[in-house]
Amino acid sequence: MTTTDDTDDTDDTDDTATASTAIYVYGIVPADVHPEEDATGIHDAPIEIVTHDDIAALVSEIDPAQRLGAPTDLQAHAHILDGTSHVAPVLPLRFGAVVSDRDAVIDELLADHEDEFASALRELEGFAQYMVKGRYVQETILREIVDESPKATSLLESIRDQPEELTRDARMALGEIIGNALEAKREADTRTTVEMLSPLTDSVTVRDPTHDEDAAQIAVLFEVDRQGELEQAVGELAERWDTRVTMRLLGPMAAYDFIVAPT
């Protein structure tokens, strides 16, 4: 009687545990990839790997009742994918990919897309994404715009040391000139950046600006072993623009702009 009661309690506990957890999937990797022992993901859960033949998924357990979307969740998602890209090809899944359990990872994801995933991983072998970012130096670019536009110069003089309520129209007109000029300069400087990178790679994606003072945001798929060449090209552009544009190279990271695995 006691044994029977113990067995029933264990079954109830297993059912509850199964219902109270789900599996979050970060990305797809070759089956021989193994996460570091102390690697943690969303909600600080340990990273695991679920394999199917030659491919695998990087996953962790989550509480399905706990909402996703906090900045720390997004950071954890990117951290796992970008860290993996340093050592192996990885196909990033979109943030928020959740399945019911580990069997579902295989049945609903890996098995259904096995050939597609395996082919994409082979193409990515040795490559990762890098971001080339340029941000205008505000004082320099505004002075450049005003110097190039007699109308902007005249408007600036007309509002200098004048009360804002008396110069509202002039300020709006000046703001419009500056906005249009920034857009034109961004287009030209983005083309220049792409041209600078074109001898190295044709795997380039131009991103939309996320800030008014963005000069360029370009994603590049590039060989990790040749990262030094990319650094040199970006460095040369930084020297060319000097105090006009601040250049940054970010990466390696997962190939978000080039391959997004189905969810």
Contacts of 178 (CB under 8 A, 6+ apart): 142, 145, 152
Q: Could you tell me the pTM of the whole model?
A: 0.83
| pLDDT grade for 215, boundaries at 50, 70 and 90 | very high
- Distance between CA 83 and CA 224 in Å, rounded? 13
Query: What's the longest Cα–Cα distance across the chain?
Result: 96
CA 75-76-80 angle, 5° bins:
115
> Is the pLDDT higher at 163 or at 233?
233
Distance (Å, whole) CA 218 – CA 208:
9
Contact 27, 90 (CB under 8 A): yes
Task: Domain ranges for the chain, please list them.
Answer: 2-125, 128-253
Structure confidence by residue, pLDDT tens digits, 5-45: 343 444 444 444 445 889 999 999 999 999 888 899 999 99
What is the residue-averaged pLDDT of the chain?
A: 90
Q: What is the 3-state secondary structure (H, E, C) of the chain?
A: CHHHHHHHHHHHHHHHHHHCCEEEEEEEEECCCCCCCCCECHHHCECEEEEECCEEEEEEEECCCCCCCCHHHHHHHHHHHHHHHCCCCCEECCCCCEECCHHHHHHHHHCCCHHHHHHHHHHHCCEEEEEEEEEECHHHHHHHHHHHCHHHHHHHHHHCCCCHHHCHHHHHHHHHHHHHHHHHHHHHHHHHHHHHHCCCCCCEEECCCCCCCEEEEEEEEEEHHHHHHHHHHHHHHHHHHCCCEEEEEEEEECCCCCCCCCC
Span 149-169, average pLDDT: 88
Mean pLDDT across 111-122: 95
The pLDDT value recorded for residue 162 is 82
- pLDDT of res. 261: 53
Fold of 128-253: Alpha-Beta Plaits (3.30.70)
Give the whole-number percent of the chain exceeding pLDDT 90.
Answer: 79
Which whole number is the average pLDDT over 216-222? 97
pLDDT score recorded for residue 4:
34
pLDDT at 262: 56
Is cis: bond before 252, omega within 30 of 0?
yes
For residues 218 and 220, give the distance between their C-alpha atoms in angstroms, rounded to a whole number: 6
How many whole angstroms separate alpha carbon 260 and alpha carbon 95?
Answer: 11
Which pLDDT tens digit goes with each residue over 173-204?
A: 999 999 999 999 999 999 999 999 999 999 99
Between 260 and 109, whose confidence is greater?
109
Say which residues have a Cβ less than 8 Å from residue 6's Cβ, sequence separation at least 6.
Answer: none
The pLDDT of residue 165 is 80
pLDDT of residue 16: 42
Q: What is the per-residue pLDDT across 70-94, written as a single tens digit (0 to 9) for each? A: 999 999 999 999 999 999 999 999 9
